[in-house]
Structure 1
Amino acid sequence: MVFETLTRWRSSNPPPSPHDPFEPTPFPTLLFRAPVKLVLYNLFHLFTHLRSAPTPSDPPIRVVCISDTHDSLPADIPHGDILIHAGDLTNSGSVADIQAQIDWLSSLPHKEIVVISGNHDTYLDPRTRPSLTELQRSGAIDWKRVHYLQHRRLSLTITVDAPDSSSPTITERSRLLSGPRHRRIRLYGAPQIPACGPMSVHAFQYPRGQDAWSETVPEDTDILITHTPPKYHLDLALPEGMGCEHLLAEVKRVKPALHVFGHVHWGAGKMVVWWDGCHDAFERGMAVQSRWTRGVLNPRLWWNAVRVGYRGIKGLVWDRVWGGQGQRTVMVNAAQMVGNTGKFGNRVQVVDI
């Protein structure tokens, strides 16, 4: 829902610390600190919500997305062709804890299982490994049938089972293509995140604002897996956003069918980003800095809010009236933990691409 994030902000308990950017900012504070961006944000998400769902390719591949399990094991994982874990398998990052997560993942029935690291998976980054005790870093990791991606590309051939020909929902074309079919899927995974803690403890960090992404993702990537969100997308976008602006630029360049990430627990959810003028205006407006006026007297910010409205209506007509969809990326923040509660509660996201 369009106002789902704001509802979380109002109902969070206990009240978040104003100094913790990984906690949602209370609505009254947002109304004071970023009133125009609050309008911009909700206007953009309103138009995004009203657009049609993307049509999957034929045959569709079902991707099940999880992240930030932090040593726990979700009880009910939906069936799918590919299971993706977008990092923070553990809390301490020890070999034993990572192995326990791998053992669980490899026992699941999905055809392919793909994993990247998060900043809590300390052992997997040689720079942070010395922060572990000798006992915590002793032994070796057996990845079993799990594909581990660390700045690495992976190409998978997925066999899609034939649909039940007796089902009344099956089309005549599907009846003719009654045998199993195959589809090639290209994935790329990278764990690096903007710094959020001590460099010697939190894995795969780079200084916030540094470009660690440009020209790193192969152009033919179908599924991109990162631990950090892209800036302003499922990352507690208001008032500042905890994602990376350089990753957003890279996603925009490549335009994968699916981008899976986690890290910002309160941003959990799913959205479709249409790479059009409405999104361009949203991105530019959110990047505008207005300190003492809170943006109220900033004509550039208001102009981008107007452009979001105009471009949003134009895109909605193109979609709903003419049936056009255009280039898009399904973005999924797959964090399982609800904020910093240490408890599961976020939905496991399932996407057909």
Structure 2
Amino acid sequence: MRVAAISDTHGRQNWEMPNCDVFIHAGDMTGSGSLQETAAFAARLRKEMESANGPPHAIIVPGNHDECFETLPRATRELFGPNVHVLEDEPLVLDGVTFYGSPWTTPFMLWRFMADESRLAMLYQNMPTSVDILVTHGPPHGILDPGWKVKHAGSMALAKAVADRQVRHHIFGHLHGAGGQLVQQGTRTFITSQRATKNTGLSINLACLKPTTVFEYLPKFHLRVGRIPMMPNACFTNLYSESSLWLQKNRRR
């Protein structure tokens, strides 16, 4: 299975669709949150999926800018095709791979899909004990989550939910300043889709300066390099640069 992931396109249509089996958007497809802007994204996605090399499945997790998913849920979901799976605190199994999607972030201004830590803790109770690929719009606390005027803006409840479960990969966006960074924390490595990893000592060639980042994912062993879990921040719009998709090549053995 080849999985491509992106987030925070905010209405821009200059993102790319590589050859993949599953396409993931981790939230903030729109800037305004309008039904019209969401329809434009849905039309672009549908066109890509119907092309000769288009992915058979797509997974969508709304973000805090995607207002119509919360205010007009039925009309918004009807914009997407039958193989576009909108995940709001729910699992999905494709070819034996378990995905789980959740749109929530910690409160900031008057956006959508925001909740305090106590409510987030209750929401994350629905998460299965074992998840191959977790997709959330917001990051966990302390992992690629620099905030505005705060050091960490990620959710502590999400961090605990991930720590308490077997999560192989965690894809998120939301905080643009973290895009394209790689950090190592204990035995885990957390990777994003923007910028080069030149200041890390890890022998992983992510080709981050190219439009698409490619690496191998082995379902039974996490990653070939170090066999350690990954947490990418898939932001497309970045404070420092614009890049393209985060692409994960997933091979079975």
Is the shorter-chain TM-score for this pair beyond 0.5, marking a shared fold?
Answer: yes
Compared CA separation, residues 274 and 82, structure 1 to 2 (3 A)? farther
**What residue ranges of structure 2 are gaps of 5+ in the alignment?**
49-53, 190-223
**What is the CA-CA distance between 1:76 and the residue it aligns to?**
2.7
**What is the CA-CA distance between 1:143 and the residue it aligns to?**
1.4
Q: Partner of 1:115 in structure 2?
A: 60
Q: Is 2:89 the partner of 1:89?
A: no
Specify which structure has the higher proportion of helix.
1
Cα distance in 1, alignment partners of residues 173 and 14 from structure 2: 15
Cα distance in 2, alignment partners of residues 206 and 248 from structure 1: 15
Deviations 1:299-333 (A, max 9, x none): xxxxxxxxxxxxxxxxxxxxxxxx9956x321111
Q: Is 2:118 the partner of 1:210?
A: yes
Q: Please show how residues 332-343 of structure 1 align to structure 2 within 5 Å.
A: 332-339=232-239
Identity %: 28
From 220, 238, 245, the counterpart of 1:348: 245
**What is the CA-CA distance between 1:110 and the residue it aligns to?**
1.5
From 229, 237, 254, the counterpart of 2:139: 229
Q: Is 2:98 the partner of 1:153?
A: no
Cα distance in 2, alignment partners of residues 125 and 248 from structure 1: 24
CA contact (8 A) 1:270 1:349 kept: no
**What is the CA-CA distance between 1:336 and the residue it aligns to?**
0.7
CA contact (8 A) 1:68 1:336 kept: yes
Please give the secondary structure, in 2, of the residue aligned with 1:331.
Answer: coil
Question: Which residue identity lines up with residue 141 of structure 1 in the other structure?
Answer: E
**What is the CA-CA distance between 1:206 and the residue it aligns to?**
0.9
Cα distance in 2, alignment partners of residues 191 and 125 from structure 1: 10
CA contact (8 A) 1:268 1:333 kept: yes
**What is the CA-CA distance between 1:274 and the residue it aligns to?**
6.5
Specify which structure has the higher proportion of strand.
2
Question: Which residue identity lines up with residue 234 of structure 2 in the other structure?
Answer: A
From 101, 120, 142, the counterpart of 2:79: 142
**What is the CA-CA distance between 1:191 and the residue it aligns to?**
0.4
Q: Partner of 2:105 in structure 1?
A: 193
Deviations 1:96-120 (A, max 9, x none): 1111111111222123111010001
Question: Which residue identity lines up with residue 231 of structure 2 in the other structure?
Answer: M
Q: Partner of 2:3 in structure 1?
A: 63
Q: Is 2:230 the partner of 1:330?
A: yes
Q: How many residues align?
A: 206
From 160, 183, 205, the counterpart of 1:249: 160
Q: Partner of 2:17 in structure 1?
A: 77
Cα distance in 1, alignment partners of residues 40 and 7 from structure 2: 15
**What is the CA-CA distance between 1:140 and the residue it aligns to?**
7.2
**What is the CA-CA distance between 1:275 and the residue it aligns to?**
6.2
Q: Please show how residues 261-280 of structure 1 align to structure 2 within 5 Å.
A: 261-269=172-180, 271=182, 276=187
Please give the secondary structure, in 2, of the residue aligned with 1:125.
Answer: helix
Q: Which has the larger radius of gyration?
A: 1
| CA root-mean-square deviation | 2.9
**What residue ranges of structure 1 are gaps of 5+ in the alignment?**
1-60, 130-136, 158-183, 280-322
